[in-house]
């Protein structure tokens, strides 16, 4: 028996229509050099229509890719809504990629039009001549007219001001019927090995993911909320926060390019978000700023979503106990849209037990199935103890990569197993569906046949009052194959020694797990999306860049 329900399509167009009419009174606030600028969702809808007309006029008539090279701002949100809703595909380019990767990605996706923020014109102009499929560049932002357009025009491409293109367009657009299974947006993984791989999100997958992000188990959004995505809109669609906000009518606060702790704190005070999301390094910087500035309070924030890498308990406790800010850890990947689990703790769990759950990667969301798989490829029990690779599947988990045949990335096929995505993350699942990751498979340290969790060591080290950042990697060892090297950033003026830190760790780790190689450094290297870059740490060690102290061993 079939249901009697109507078969309405789950599309970005339906999210846009709802958000910009029913919630026309909500707003998107964007940070500027000296304050903020504001647009109502009703105006956002009108501007999305004008953008769609403008894009038709420069040849976007089907599922061509329209790329963005932008910070988080109102224009980027217009692109997020208009491009998929007109049947084209939004491709968010990571502005911090190495030039050759960016060129590879834009050519692989066959980007036709690129929207570029005025402040990013000098950077983009260097890459543009090599972007073979691009015909038009649209320069957006309040200072677009003053940007060096000639530098872009030197590439021979058509260059237009975004506002000029929108200026005389109608405020209504005849949005086409789009199949919910068609492509809405694409995003490339950062390509730690080989070339980056393209993940293509569908309308339906984005719709369902946004709904899941909006639920109380994740961000719990409603139209009284104001959402601040600090996570870039080019990093896995800002974790779905932009679409989830428009879906629920929550207002958006966009930080544009002001992402350092001090301007961020000022923007939070001015725009008063209730929910925000960013990787741990951002909150670590914010915590250091708040600790150093008595009386500065971020009292509008009720929830910080944090993920992308493990969120140290010391960071969560510091923000909560000293500044009244509540962090919830979430886990996901570009391949999982990205949010797949979030760390609301079980009922009745309090005190120290609460922190054990808050340290976890969270509980699987409905829509994402998970399992832990052992070395032989067989599923292991959900007992919180059996360690293996996490595999996931579900309607917002990718089942493959975009044109993988073209990529040089040799491991594209190995990423899937009987219809499950192999995450490359190693850890456990407990009987309540909480994930606890001990490492990424490629970061695992194997010493004398035993695993040492770099994540556990880092979390513990960052709990030491003198440690600002710590990254632990495996380095070759003749006797044990691998031993842990701890690279540590100390607080200014701290005199803590490697011996002190080893003694401190000795309280919670077995002796054979303790790092016996230590290096103090100014900053742990970061990836293009702000995570600790252990690949660079390992290379730095191999090239002798660290002054390594040997202790114990
Ligand atoms: P990349 O880090 O490769 O640029 P992604 O942003 O897709 O690309 O990263 C996904 C990976 O980030 C996951 O596979 C996992 O290793 C890591 N990750 C994400 N969230 C968490 C978390 N809460 N704890 C630990 N690791 C996380």
Q: Which residue's C-alpha comes closest to atom 10 of ligand 1?
A: 333
Q: What region does 155 belong to: left with phi over 0, alpha with psi -120 to 50, or beta?
A: alpha
- How far is ligand 1, taken at its centre, from the CA of residue 118, in Å? 30
Note the pLDDT of residue 441.
Answer: 85
- How far is ligand 1, taken at its centre, from the CA of residue 441, in Å? 12
- How far is ligand 1, taken at its centre, from the CA of residue 454, in Å? 14
> pLDDT tens across 209-242, in order?
999 999 999 999 999 999 999 999 999 999 999 9
Q: How many CB atoms lie within 10 A of CB 34?
A: 5
DSSP β-bridge partners for residue 473: 485
Mutate which of 187, 237, 333, 472 to test ligand 1's pocket (most atoms within 8 Å of Cβ)?
A: 333
The CA distance from 44 to 249, in Å, is 12
Q: What region does 324 belong to: left with phi over 0, alpha with psi -120 to 50, or beta?
A: left
> Residue 28 to residues 33, 74, 107, 219, 255: CA-CA distances in angstroms?
17, 6, 32, 18, 11
Give me the catalytic one of 20, 92, 189, 336: 189
**How does residue 384 score in pLDDT terms, banded at 50, 70 and 90?**
very high
Residue 529 alpha carbon, nearest atom of ligand 1: 4
- How far is ligand 1, taken at its centre, from the CA of residue 419, in Å? 21
Note the pLDDT of residue 411.
Answer: 59
Note the pLDDT of residue 404.
Answer: 84
Considering the entire predicted model, what is its pTM? 0.93
- How far is ligand 1, taken at its centre, from the CA of residue 332, in Å? 6
Q: How many CB atoms lie within 10 A of CB 189?
A: 18
The CA distance from 2 to 147, in Å, is 58
CA-nearest of 90, 89, 78, 82 to 252 is 78
DSSP β-bridge partners for residue 379: 373
What mean pLDDT do residues 386-413 have?
83
Selected residue with higher pLDDT from 232 and 195: 232
The CA distance from 51 to 294, in Å, is 45
**How does residue 408 score in pLDDT terms, banded at 50, 70 and 90?**
very low
Could you give phi then psi for residue 313, rounded to 5 degrees?
-60, -35
Mutate which of 190, 308, 423, 425 to test ligand 1's pocket (most atoms within 8 Å of Cβ)?
A: 308
How does DSSP assign 87-105, residue by residue?
T-EEEE--TTS-HHHHHHH
Sign of CA dihedral 60, 63, 69, 73: positive
**Ligand 1 binding pocket, CB closer than 6 Å:** 189-190, 192, 236, 307-311, 329, 331-334, 361, 423-425, 437, 440, 527, 529, 531
- Is the distance from CB of 255 to CB of 31 less than 8 angstroms? yes
Note the pLDDT of residue 375.
Answer: 87
For residue 189, is pLDDT > 70? yes
What mean pLDDT do residues 299-325 have?
97
189 part of the active site: yes
Give me the catalytic one of 158, 258, 451, 497: 451
CA 447 to chain centroid, in Å, comes to 31
For residue 410, is pLDDT > 80? no
- How far is ligand 1, taken at its centre, from the CA of residue 308, in Å? 4
- Is the distance from CB of 518 to CB of 488 less than 8 angstroms? yes
What mean pLDDT do residues 63-92 have?
98
Note the pLDDT of residue 528.
Answer: 86
Strand order in the sheet with 549-550: 467-477, 481-490, 517-520, 549-550
Note the pLDDT of residue 511.
Answer: 93
CA-nearest of 320, 323, 268 to 290 is 323
Give me the catalytic one of 38, 100, 171, 446: 446
The CA distance from 78 to 16, in Å, is 10
Of the chain, the percentage scoring pLDDT greater than 70 comes to 98
- How far is ligand 1, taken at its centre, from the CA of residue 493, in Å? 32
Q: Which two tokens stand for residue 289?
A: 């700023």
> pLDDT tens across 510-547, in order?
999 999 999 999 999 998 888 899 999 999 999 999 99
Least confident of 25-29, 122-126, 200-204, 452-456: 452-456
Mutate which of 332, 396, 459 to test ligand 1's pocket (most atoms within 8 Å of Cβ)?
A: 332
Mutate which of 327, 331, 458, 462 to test ligand 1's pocket (most atoms within 8 Å of Cβ)?
A: 331
For residue 291, is pLDDT > 90? yes
**How does residue 287 score in pLDDT terms, banded at 50, 70 and 90?**
very high
For residue 336, is pLDDT > 60? yes
239 part of the active site: no
The CA distance from 137 to 522, in Å, is 39
- Is the distance from CB of 445 to CB of 452 less than 8 angstroms? yes
Whats the size of the chain, residue-wise? 553
**Residue recorded with tokens 């632990």:** 472
The CA distance from 298 to 395, in Å, is 36
335 part of the active site: yes
Give me the catalytic one of 27, 78, 127, 335: 335
CA-nearest of 97, 65, 87, 122 to 16 is 87
For residue 413, is pLDDT > 80? no
Residue 191 alpha carbon, nearest atom of ligand 1: 3
For residue 433, is pLDDT > 90? yes
């Amino acid at each position: 028996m079939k249901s009697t329900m109507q078969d309405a399509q789950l599309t970005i167009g339906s999210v846009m229509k709802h958000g910009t009419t029913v919630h026309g009174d909500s707003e998107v606030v964007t940070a500027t050099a000296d304050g903020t600028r504001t647009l109502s969702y009703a105006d956002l809808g009108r501007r999305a229509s004008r953008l769609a007309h403008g894009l038709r006029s420069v040849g976007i008539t089907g599922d061509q890719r329209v790329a963005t090279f932008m910070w988080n701002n109102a224009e980027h949100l217009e692109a997020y809504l208009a491009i998929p809703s007109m049947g084209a595909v939004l491709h968010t380019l990571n502005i911090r990629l190495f030039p050759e990767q960016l060129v590879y990605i834009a050519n692989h996706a066959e980007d036709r039009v690129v929207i570029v923020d005025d402040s990013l014109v000098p950077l983009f102009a260097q890459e543009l001549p090599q972007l073979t499929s691009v015909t038009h560049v649209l320069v957006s932002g309040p200072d677009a007219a003053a940007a060096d357009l000639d530098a872009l025009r030197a590439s021979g491409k058509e260059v237009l001001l975004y506002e000029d293109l929108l200026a005389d367009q109608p405020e209504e657009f005849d949005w086409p019927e789009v199949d919910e299974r068609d492509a809405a947006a694409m995003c490339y993984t950062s390509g730690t090995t080989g070339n980056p791989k393209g993940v293509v999100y569908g309308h339906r997958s984005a719709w369902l993911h946004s709904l899941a992000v909006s639920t109380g188990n994740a961000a719990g959004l409603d139209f009284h909320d104001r959402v601040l995505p600090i996570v870039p809109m080019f990093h896995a669609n800002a974790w779905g926060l932009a679409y989830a906000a428009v879906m629920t009518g929550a207002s958006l606060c966009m930080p544009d390019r002001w992402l350092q702790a001090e301007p961020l704190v000022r923007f939070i005070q001015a725009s008063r978000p209730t929910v925000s999301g960013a990787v741990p390094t951002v909150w670590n910087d914010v915590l250091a700023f708040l600790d150093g500035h008595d009386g500065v309070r971020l009292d509008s924030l009720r929830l910080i979503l944090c993920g992308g890498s493990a969120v140290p308990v010391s960071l969560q406790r510091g923000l909560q106990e000293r500044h009244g800010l509540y962090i919830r850890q979430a886990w996901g990947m570009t391949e999982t849209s990205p949010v797949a689990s979030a760390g609301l703790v079980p009922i009745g769990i309090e005190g120290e037990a609460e922190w054990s759950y808050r340290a976890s990667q969270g509980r699987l969301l409905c829509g994402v199935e998970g399992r832990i798989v052992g070395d032989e490829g067989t599923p292991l029990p959900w007992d919180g103890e059996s360690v293996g690779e996490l595999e996931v599947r579900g309607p917002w988990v990718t089942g493959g990569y975009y044109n993988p045949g073209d990529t040089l990335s040799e491991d594209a096929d190995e990423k899937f197993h009987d219809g499950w995505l192999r995450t490359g993350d190693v850890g456990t699942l407990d009987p309540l569906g909480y994930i606890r990751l001990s490492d990424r498979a490629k970061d695992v340290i194997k010493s004398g046949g035993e695993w040492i969790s770099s994540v556990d060591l880092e979390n513990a080290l960052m709990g030491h009052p003198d440690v600002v950042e710590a990254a632990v990697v495996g380095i070759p060892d003749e006797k044990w194959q691998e031993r842990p090297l701890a690279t540590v950033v100390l607080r200014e003026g701290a005199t803590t020694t490697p011996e002190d830190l080893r003694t401190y760790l000795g309280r919670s780790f077995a002796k054979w797990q303790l790092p016996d190689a230590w290096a103090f450094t100014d900053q742990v290297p970061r990836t293009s999306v702000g995570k600790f870059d252990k690949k660079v740490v390992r290379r730095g060690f191999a090239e002798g860049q660290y002054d390594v102290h040997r202790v114990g061993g």
